[in-house]
Amino acid sequence: MNIPPNPCPTSIDLVWPWWRDQMPVSREWAYFDHAAVGPLSGAAADSLSRFSQDASLNGDVHWMQWSGRVQELRQMTSELLHCGIDEVALVPNTTTGINFVANGFPWTEGDNVIVPDGEFPSNLFPWLNQNSRGVEVRVVPRRDGRVIVDDLIERIDSRTRLIAVSWVGYASGFRIDLERLVEQAHHRGVLVFLDAIQGLGIYPLDLQTCDVDFLSADGHKWLLGPEGAGVAVIRKRHLETLRCDSVGWASVQNSHLFSGATFDLRETAQRFEGGSANMSGLMALASSMDMFLSVIRTHGVSAIGDRVLERATRLRELLRQRGANLLFDNEPFDQHGSGIVTFEVPGQTPADFRSRALENHIVVSCRGGGIRASVHVYNNDADLERLSELVAR
């Protein structure tokens, strides 16, 4: 099993410099675009390099070792989320996991699904695509970027089957009260799908106590893996609920018995993995996830999220001091805040500020009508100062 090149320090004060050392991007850039595409961790980049060398020199000779590493990613996801390993499916992107549910759910004409306004299109279009099956999509307005649980619950009626929501808003950075949403929805017999891409790996999620029904997330943002490699969770109690809309050789038990194969679906979420896996991408994601789990095992489930919130709080303070306007308050920040900080600079368009930032080796995005900075654990005080000082120029 691969492990980070240097063990996680036992002193929490040394963890974040240790993490920064494993982020090559930090040598050149003050990088604040993790909510779009995160930079590869050094461990993930090394994994991709080793794979490409191995595959070019040896073909598929070491395929079983590759497959074993991919299975380790499944186990790590199970550990991270406190779910069964048989509930984890490996996916190429968040959208794929959403469509597992949207296309596979046993809808009947007149059913409805509830979605907050302002979701990323991947958590809207698959549900709208069910209109042809007679499914209504009820879009619930946000309040100043905030998704209010009571607003979602109030839209439930006898035909509501599911609420589909993002853990963290991609533009506002608002983190929903997930435990309360799940509790209130389940009390009314309604399932919950979670688009977890903006929160997975950063904030604790124990599926034994916060009983989300379905979940999907790519690993190329906060988890610092490559694009095209992610995870989904389908709780075991729902496995037979969803129809496998797309199947292949890997969907069945005894999947490697190609001659005389029988259509006998796996009794795990792997039944949704119809074809060959993105071995290189999934192995790289596993190498990056090792880093996250090493911190969690050593310093507890809240260590990473606490650090991100502390960094985001500090950035918000600096931006205010330099004259920027924060577009979303997300208070109380310890409950609803995240690493996403969206702001505006008087007299400058977001696009102009982003261009100026790139010239100064600072990376941000334009989202939510403003400039979006998404802060990770390895962003140090010098990074935060570089961004905030640019506001004042």
For the chain, how many helices (H) and strands (E)?
A: 12, 13
Q: Write b or e for each residue in 373-391: b if 16 or more Cβ atoms lie within 10 A of its Cβ, otherwise e.
A: bbbbbbbeeebbebbbebb
Q: What pLDDT does 1 receive?
A: 44
Which residue type is seen at 359?
A: E
pLDDT at 265 over 70: yes
For residue 385, what pLDDT is reported? 98
Who's near 300: CB < 8 A, 6+ residues apart?
none
- Check residue 4 and give its pLDDT: 52
- Given strand 325-326, what is the order of strands in its sheet? 325-326, 340-344, 370-374, 365-367
Q: Is the pLDDT of residue 27 over 90?
A: yes
Q: What's residue 166's pLDDT?
A: 98
| pLDDT tens digits for range 123-176 | 999 999 999 999 999 999 999 999 999 999 999 999 999 999 999 999 999 999
Q: What is the mean pLDDT of residues 2-19?
A: 85
For 201-250, the pLDDT digits (tens) are 999 999 999 999 999 999 999 999 999 999 999 999 999 999 998 899 88
The C-alpha atoms of residue 354 and residue 375 are separated, in whole angstroms, by 16
Full-model pTM: 0.95
